[in-house]
Amino acid sequence: MEGFTWMKLLLDPSETTKFDDPSLGQSEGNGVLARPPGKSAVDLCADYLTEVAIFAYSSLEKRVTRAILEATPIDFWFTVPAVWSDKAKYDTLRAAKMAFKQAGIALHPASRLFLIPEPEAAAIATLSHLTKGASEVQVKPGDSILICDCGGGTVDITSYKINAVLPKLTFEELVVGTGGKCGSTYIDREFIKWMAGKFGPAYTNLSWEKRGPASRFMKDFEGFKRNFKTESSTRCCEAQLFMKGLGDSHYYDADESAVKIHYEDMKIMFDTVVNKIIALLKSQLDAVHAHAGTPVKTIILAGGFGDSNYLNETLRTWCKGVDVKLICPEHPQAAIVRGAALGGLQDIQPTSRRARMHYGIAVSQPFDPVIHQVRDSFADKWDGSPRAGSQIKWSLNKGGIVDRSTQIQFDLTSDVFDDNQASIKHDATVYCSRADAAPRTTYAPSSQVLGVIGLSFRDVNLDDFPVKVINGRNMRRVKATYVVSFGDLGGVLKFSASVGSVEIGNTSFTFDGPGSQQHHTANTEAGDYMPPCAMQ
């Protein structure tokens, strides 16, 4: 049987941060960050979730009858890393929907799917416990806390201010969170590199079944990793692995066919990732101090890697040095799924979050030689006036407050020919940027194509709009309003478009991969004016 691992990270392959594991891209192959032929990342994750759904549903059937399950609407909450891009969140939902279809599970029509960021779920579970009864003194209204969610693939850092604990827990995100793909699997990759460096072809020529993530050898290492401490009484661990042609050495017992992993080597592997986590924590504490003005006094450690003795002990020592209390809930990995369920049952979520990116739309503007490049200039087909294409109008800035009512609206004008109205379409390209300062143009290195809003004018009465004859054809100047909604409970962006007061039902949105850059010269308009863009 061929196995695949770390496939969840494939849902967000190009979204990078300065704290990512630099060796992540070198790990692809032999089932690691790889896909079977003909399978996309969404397909692969859907296959995995299909088996999870079958198992979960069969477990529920043991508690209640199938008839009751089919007659009961169920809300499904999926946790996602906070560093996930909007496209990765959307693809996670796609994989979940595919999984339910593949599993053949008959769900009530009113059943729903939701996403929740993992540090947010951890906050709900932990704070709900810490603010009850005698625990209330640990966290109280007005306190600022930091959630450090350390998983296998990612580490997410988010800070919140507690607004109330009774009658219901309420909290708000303080500053833009941070994170990176530097979870506990980083240690596995360091170990694999260590093995290759110590034993060369004797190790690398082994079959993947003997040395891959599902092998007995790596399962032994996983146990060592879980029990490793700062002051370990076991100075050397041995993992069974037969390698041809090797004699006894400091790192190998030929008689026992055992690799000897010494404390000092294991510490180096751990410190590589733990130091990144500390750097993430420091950057978030500095951001809270600079922008919120309220010092963080409590760090809550959650996630699967949060169970690590070494991580706990090292962070506890570091926290003492910066006068911060570290709390690690019992079963920190389970805290995230408990928080997701609790948040859904009690409708608990932050009253507001912080936008992790700038969001805007590609437009053209009246040409200004002071701020625009000559390369972007063109003549407006409507009236011949000089304009600058490839510009971005930003409507939500990084760090901006986002709540359930947050929307950004773009009022734009499109020039369309009405020869064949059924085929008249227009695309509006939505951009995003993680840079602190939003770039001005679509081709700036930090500009990223989020996706394309596709709008059909098939059912719009074009007679209501101005007309000009251009090269023997009727050109209409059509005003449309595009809306991006950020507060949807499902955890993903929602898109819509309208002409006048009528919402256009045949509006689509196609995600593009982050990092795609397009240089547009336009021939459409409005006080801001949209360049044409191709569907990606």
- Structural domain of 46: 7-116
pLDDT band at 505 (very low <50, low <70, confident <90, very high): low
Q: How far apart are CA 95 and CA 82, in angstroms?
A: 18
In a domain, 262, yes or no: no
Residue 161's CB: how many other CB atoms inside 10 A?
A: 21
Please give the pLDDT value at position 82: 86
Residue 355's CB: how many other CB atoms inside 10 A?
A: 19
Please give the pLDDT value at position 35: 65
pLDDT band at 519 (very low <50, low <70, confident <90, very high): very low
Q: How far apart are CA 167 and CA 190, in angstroms?
A: 47
Given a contact cutoff of 8 angstroms between Cβ atoms, the answer to whether 458 and 499 are in contact is no
Q: Which phi and psi angles does 115 have, rounded to 5°?
A: -115, 150
pLDDT band at 530 (very low <50, low <70, confident <90, very high): very low
pLDDT tens-place string over residues 479-495 = 999 999 987 777 788 88
Return the percentage of the chain with pLDDT > 70, whole number.
Answer: 88
Query: How many residues does this entry show for the chain?
Result: 536
Please give the pLDDT value at position 524: 31
First to last CA, the chain: 36
Please give the pLDDT value at position 500: 83
pLDDT band at 532 (very low <50, low <70, confident <90, very high): very low
- Average pLDDT value for residue range 334-361: 93
- Paired with 399 in beta bridges are none
pLDDT tens-place string over residues 425-461 = 788 899 999 999 999 999 999 999 999 998 888 888 8
- Average pLDDT value for residue range 173-179: 93
Residue 17 has pLDDT above 80, yes or no: no
- Which CATH number fits the domain that encloses residue 479? 2.60.34
Please give the pLDDT value at position 360: 95
pLDDT band at 156 (very low <50, low <70, confident <90, very high): very high
Please give the pLDDT value at position 10: 80
- Average pLDDT value for residue range 398-416: 91
Of 82, 116, 150, which residue sits at a domain end? Answer: 116
- Helical H runs in 179-331? 185-199, 201-204, 208-211, 216-227, 263-291, 309-321
In a domain, 36, yes or no: yes
pLDDT band at 25 (very low <50, low <70, confident <90, very high): very low
Which DSSP symbol is given to 315? Answer: H
More confident residue, 525 or 145: 145
Please give the pLDDT value at position 84: 85
pLDDT band at 209 (very low <50, low <70, confident <90, very high): confident
In a domain, 165, yes or no: no
Of 116, 133, 163, which residue sits at a domain end? Answer: 116
pLDDT band at 2 (very low <50, low <70, confident <90, very high): low
- Average pLDDT value for residue range 400-411: 92
More confident residue, 50 or 530: 50
- The helix (H) or strand (E) run that includes residue 126 is helix 118-130
Of 87, 116, 145, which residue sits at a domain end? Answer: 116
More confident residue, 355 or 522: 355
Residue 347 has pLDDT above 70, yes or no: yes
Mean residue pLDDT of the chain comes to: 85
In a domain, 64, yes or no: yes
Please give the pLDDT value at position 359: 95
Q: What angle do CA 322, 272, 24 make, to 5 degrees?
A: 125
- Helical H runs in 309-389? 309-321, 332-346
Poorest-confidence range of 205-219, 254-268, 316-330? 205-219
More confident residue, 143 or 460: 143
In a domain, 408, yes or no: yes
Burial of 112 (0-12, 13-18, 19+ CB in 10 A): middle
In a domain, 417, yes or no: yes
Please give the pLDDT value at position 1: 53
Q: Can you list the positions of beta strands (E) in 339-385? A: 353-354, 358-366, 377-379
pLDDT tens-place string over residues 89-140 = 999 999 999 999 999 988 899 999 999 999 999 999 988 887 765 544 578 8
In a domain, 16, yes or no: yes
pLDDT band at 15 (very low <50, low <70, confident <90, very high): low
Please give the pLDDT value at position 527: 33
Which two three-digit tokens encode residue 341?
Answer: 């369920």
Residue 212's CB: how many other CB atoms inside 10 A?
A: 19
Residue 471 has pLDDT above 60, yes or no: yes
Pairing mode, strands 252-253 and 298-302: unpaired
In a domain, 63, yes or no: yes
Residue 194 has pLDDT above 80, yes or no: yes
Domain total in the chain: 2
